[in-house]
Amino acid sequence: MRLFNIGKFVIITMLMFGSLLAEQAKTGEPSDSVELATTHAQVNHVAADVEHHVSLPPLWLVIPFILLLTMIATGPLLYSHFWEHQYPKVAIILGMIVAVYYGLMMDHGTLSLLHTLEEYISFIALLTALFVASGGILIKFHTVGRPLVNAGILFSGAILSNFIGTTGASMLLIRPFMRLNEERIKPFHIIFFIFIVSNIGGGLTPIGDPPLFLGFLKGIPFFWVIRHVWDIWLVTVLAVIAVFVAMDIRVPSPAPNISSGKAVEIKGGKNFIYLGVIILSVFLDPAVIDGFPSLQNIFHVPFGIREVIMFTVAYLAYRNGDKEALRGNEFNFEPIKEVAYLFVGIFATMIPALQLIGAYAKEHATEFTVSKFYWFTGSLSGVLDNAPTYLNFLAGSMGKFGLDIGSGADVQHFAGGTPSPVPGDVNSIIYLMAISIAAVFFGALTYIGNAPNFMVKNIAEQAGVEVPSFLGYVFKYSIPILLPIFFVVWWVFFNL
């Protein structure tokens, strides 16, 4: 029933945007009938082209986004009862303000809404599928939490996130990680799990984090990231784990109580097959496989075969899941429900913010150094969705080199090392490294920087584990711990 409610919510969201698209289509704009018949890849290309020909949204339209972020940060702390019961309405109402303005007042606004709707459905389909499939896998470590044991799990989770995504790895490991430390768990255990497994760990492959996958769809070779940033990734992961061990070593550990001859016990292992299907379905896109059928083009719907497969897998994984594993994980849909509602508001309200930022990045691209691209991409990835932020600054950096993000050949030239037109400047590889690292790593700065952050927080709260508020997370943990490490990364690799 709860899975049905999530599906119902997605349908309502589609209708929310779709009603505006249909209403705008009735006005007779010739562009809209074409927009509804384009494929997902074509929408991306057209959207990039439109940005050069239409006026930007008014600055005041960013207010709903700022208001939503402010309420996410202060709601649980200052007016928790209201926020707990009303946050879905708040997110949808603020999103509707922007959606209505774009649908009725902006030239080609329906194109922006359609593009955002496709991105949201892809986003929630992947998260729901990974959440349900991994929730049916029960992992038990027959030992107790100790600093080096915890460090090994966090490092393993960082590696795993590159194979099943930060969401998949987070959902698979957060519950066993909490059980392992149940007699000694502190808020920082959850925070460092978010830092490493839910964010930084996924920085090596396009599967790991959405920004890198979007880069892959644009034409960046699949193994480009791991080939160029593996050393930065390794140093950063080990540095964060070292800080964790220094804190964890101060927490007393109980005596080992091994109740089984096995160090690790797994129930619901068949769900690994579902995880495999989900990961393979990620590549079922016309931008990856030439000639692959597009439901957007055939039926004029804002989703593709990939999303159908993912929602189907989520349904089958829950219906056929191992009941003992589900009970052992205390599985419920509250975490994905919270993400679904909050991020529909975030996706809608951030449209004008992203367009204004993208325009600024392109206009000032020639003035941007590697350092500016690193810090701008990173800081904005902490409060905006890091995937479109990555694309905006990728487009801006390519513009500096006289290249177009809409051209696959240009993207490949950029990834291959195009010389800079500015005398004494570095080639394009360093720019792409800086943007890729910043978009992934800085997603750990806030709970909304990456979707798994909120899900891990929700699961920990349901388990009775104390976790900091939005502001507590930022000012007590991410700024004092992560920013110095990210500063060192910049100083060593991108201070150019």
CB atoms within 10 A of CB 147: 17
Q: Is 359 helix (H, G, I), strand (E, B) or coil?
A: helix
- What is residue 363's predicted lDDT score, i.e. its pLDDT? 81
Cβ–Cβ under 8 Å, residues 385 and 344: no
Alpha helices (H) along 382-493: 386-400, 408-416, 428-441, 451-462, 470-472, 483-489
Comparing CA positions, the residue from 91, 111, 147, 84 lying closest to residue 20 is 111
Output the six-digit token pair for 42: 């074509």
- The per-residue pLDDT for range 359-375, each reduced to its tens digit, is 888 788 788 899 999 99
DSSP code at position 292: -
- Tell me if 352 sits within 8 A of 62, measured CB to CB: yes
Q: What is the pLDDT of residue 108?
A: 84
Annotated domain spans of the chain:
2-494
- Name the band, by pLDDT with cuts 50, 70 and 90, for residue 379: very high
Between 192 and 495, where is the model more confident? 192
Which pLDDT tens digit goes with each residue over 417-467?
999 888 888 999 999 999 999 999 999 999 988 889 999 999 999 999 999
pLDDT score for 300: 84
Q: Is the pLDDT of residue 58 over 80?
A: yes
Average pLDDT, rounded, for the chain: 86
Query: Rounded distance, CA 424 to CA 263, Å?
Result: 56
SS3 for 37? coil
pLDDT number for residue 158: 98
Residue 472, both tokens: 């507590």
What is the band of 44 on the pLDDT scale with cuts at 50, 70, 90?
A: very low
- Indicate the range of 107-116, 156-165, 203-212, 457-466 predicted with least confidence: 107-116
- Among 64-68, 217-221, 320-324, 437-441, the range scoring the smallest mean pLDDT is 217-221
pLDDT at site 259: 54
48 — pLDDT class (breaks 50, 70, 90): very low
Q: Is the pLDDT of residue 9 over 80?
A: no
